[in-house]
Amino acid sequence: MTFEDLKLTRQFLNAIEDWGFEQPTEIQIKAIPPIRSGQDLIGIAQTGTGKTAAFLLPILHLLKYAQGTQPRCLILVPTKELVMQIVSHAEHLSKYTDLRVIGLYGGIGPKAQAQEMEKGKDIIVATPGRFMEIYFKGVIDCKKIKHLVLDEADRMMDMGFMHQLRKIFEIIPNKRQNLLFSATFPERVEHLAEEFLLWPTRVEVSPQATPVETVEQFLYRVPNFRTKIDLLVHLLETDESMERVIVFTRTKDYAENISKYLDRKELGEVRVIHSNKGQNSRINAMADFRAGDVRILVSTDVSARGIDIPEVSHVINFSIPRDSFDYVHRIGRTGRAFRAGTAISFADHTESYYIRKIEDVTKQLIPVLELPESLFIHPTPKSEKQDQAREIDKQKHREDPNYKGAFHEKKYKLKGEKKVSRSTSNRKQNK
């Protein structure tokens, strides 16, 4: 199957060729014809399978050329990084047309985007919040919107965009083509689909949430943060195949501290992205990483959702994501379209719980590797032990909502509050 077989017109075939795509991916083969024929469609395919071009190509095709000033297509995505990525994709693919694309996203003032909008655009790519903000400035005329795309629908549901999406559905014409793309299809996405798609065609290219087959996965069991850091340094020092590594951490503080530490160890260029970093710093970090000038990118997983990072050799989960679907997304950063990669996870004993959930979702067991012999196993500091005990309590509570917890809650009373030891009575109850 070639792009020619998909009957795209010359200007798109040329753009595709310039970009170096040789053949369409499976989701592209399956989604392009029905979208071109105007159908509503749900597309489910793992991260890195080429979903963006799967909806952009047929839409660009339907829009053909610039027309008037009112936008005709609205693409909604969860993060600003994703907006920028899709805009860039659209610019590549439409380079031999005069179609006009704009990205609307937060983190910078709305004024410039509103002014740009007034010049007339054919396609808007936006986060829901910023779209509404600009809409209320009165510079978006929605009457001509004929195509709506929700990309990374699972992420949008996770991030609580439902309310904003409903508002947007109200202000755009009812008569339109609706497309929904997602890496996974959990129940909340199904509800969203039921709410806004009309007799959709459903195309799915691989079983739900199965990690890309080209990704090798491994797990190290590591007792604490300090030992995790040493293991990370050890791997970066000894494994030369780690050419371009992305390290995912749970919190901004972890991301910041780990990146500083790695920087001091001189293991190659390091950048960090998290939500406290300014917009420019994040864009620059991503650009440097993408250009291959940076070996290590440390990121919180929220900042990295849906970003297209080509040719990542390794993903390291410094902490295990609480949401199994995040794991699938994270490891999807390696093994992007037609490339192989490795995903390595570090789990302390409290994180085994999340590993089990991931293994349930992916229906694969992650092979466990022995810790390197030379690695010093630090004792777990008291404060970390307490955090771990609290985490275990939380997990037990989640499994059994009647579970009250054996951990001394009095330690977490605010100053000035009366200290009451609930733990003694709880323990009695649990016996």
In the list Mg ion, ligand ADP, none, the entry touching 40 (Cβ below 5 to 8 angstroms by class) is none
Give the Cβ contact number of residue 129 at 10 Å: 13
> Measured between alpha carbons, how far is 123 from 333 in angstroms, rounded to an integer?
27
- Distance, in Å, from the CA atom of 156 to the CA atom of 77, rounded to the nearest integer, reads 7
25 binds ligand ADP (CB under 6 A): yes
How crowded is residue 33: how many other Cβ atoms within 10 Å of its Cβ?
A: 15
Q: Which is nearer to ligand ADP, 92 or 378 (CB)?
A: 92
Nearest residue (CB) to Mg ion, 27 versus 222: 27
Interface with Mg ion, residue 51, by CB under 5 A: yes
User: Which span sits near ligand ADP by CB under 6 A: 21-29, 69-77, 204-212, 226-234?
Assistant: 21-29
Contact 287, 318 (CB under 8 A): no
- Considering the complex, state which of residue 113 and residue 334 has its C-beta at the smaller distance from ligand ADP: 334
Q: Which is nearer to ligand ADP, 184 or 259 (CB)?
A: 184
- Give the one entry of Mg ion, ligand ADP, none that residue 308 binds, where binding means its C-beta sits below a cut-off of 5 to 8 angstroms depending on kind: ligand ADP
**Site map (CB under 6 A) of ligand ADP, residues 145-174, x = contact:** ------------------------------
Q: Decide if residue 337 touches ligand ADP (CB under 6 A).
A: yes
Which stretch in 35-43, 51-59, 98-106, 368-376 sits in contact with Mg ion by CB under 5 A? 51-59
Report the distance separating Cα 210 and Cα 367, nearest Å.
Answer: 16
| SS3 call for 24 | coil
Q: Identify the CA nearest to 185 among candidates 165, 160, 202, 163.
A: 202
Q: Which of 189, 156, 191, 196 is nearest to 174 (CA)?
A: 196
Per CB under 6 A, the list member of 31, 41, 48, 117 interacting with ligand ADP is 48
Tell me how far CA of residue 421 lies from CA of 397, 411, 413, in angstroms: 19, 9, 10
Q: How many residues line the site for Mg ion (CB under 5 A)?
A: 1
- Interface with ligand ADP by CB under 6 A: which range of 41-49, 73-81, 253-261, 418-426? 41-49
Q: Please give the Cα distance from 142 to 120 (Å, whole number).
A: 12
- Min CB(406)–ligand ADP separation in Å: 43
Which residue from 8, 42, 47, 189 is in contact with ligand ADP, where contact means CB under 6 A? 47
Binding of residue 52 to ligand ADP (CB under 6 A): yes
- ∠ CA 117-118-122 to the nearest 5 degrees? 55
Judged by CB under 6 A, the chain residues 309 through 328 that form the site for ligand ADP are: 310
Cα angle 3, 9, 13 (rounded to 5 degrees) comes to: 45
Return the number of the residue (85 or 345) whose C-beta is nearest ligand ADP: 85
Stretch that binds ligand ADP, among 40-48, 100-108, 290-298, 420-428 (CB under 6 A): 40-48
- Are residues 103 and 126 in contact, defined by beta-carbon separation less than 8 angstroms? yes
Q: From edge to edge, which strands make up the β-sheet containing 73-76?
A: 101-104, 123-126, 73-76, 147-150, 177-182, 41-44, 201-204
**Quick check: 333 binds Mg ion (CB under 5 A)?**
no
In angstroms, give the least distance from the CB of 331 to ligand ADP: 12
User: Whole-angstrom Cα distance, residue 398 to residue 128?
Assistant: 31
Minimum distance between the CB of residue 84 and ligand ADP, rounded to whole angstroms? 12
- Binding region for Mg ion (CB under 5 A): 51
- Binding region for ligand ADP (CB under 6 A): 21, 24-25, 28, 45, 47-53, 308, 310, 336-337
